[in-house]
Amino acid sequence: MAKRVLVVEDNDLNRKLFCDLLTAHGFAVEGLADGREVLERARQFVPGLIIMDIQLPHVSGLELIEAIKADRDLRLIPIMAVTAYAGKGDEDRIRAAGAEGYVSKPVSIGPFMAAVNALV
């Protein structure tokens, strides 16, 4: 059975790129543009990894990471944050919220897949 990855990314092109790349590497993938759907969808899809954009409309990726890690049913799912906002201290804040992985945009395929494979 293919490992499942939930991709949370509001940018259509980035979401399609991540989903296509993961699918080509044998993963079962579901993409979400709206962070407000993440908790419910994660419960239904049961991913082995969540790839989380940090800058989302309506709710921040940081808040979602904290909510996932506070949820007894979801907290063991590893989270890889992907963000264009790679300023000083951002990675520390994201990891402190509970993300096990961190990749800055623009992503390179090799490091992105290496980070994914390290977490699944």
When mean pLDDT is compared over 58-62, 76-80, 108-112, the highest value belongs to 76-80
For 99-117, write each residue's pLDDT tens digit: 999 999 889 999 999 999 9
- The verdict on residue 93 lying in a domain is no
Share of the chain above pLDDT 90, in %: 88
We report the CATH number of the domain holding residue 68 as 3.40.50.2300
Structural domain span for residue 9: 4-87+98-104
In order, the DSSP letters of the chain are: -PPEEEEE-SSHHHHHHHHHHHHHTT-EEEEES-GGGHHHHHHHH--SEEEEESS-SSS-HHHHHHHHHH-TTTTTS-EEEEES---TTHHHHHHHHT-SEEEESSP-HHHHHHHHHHH-
Residue 112 covered by a domain: no
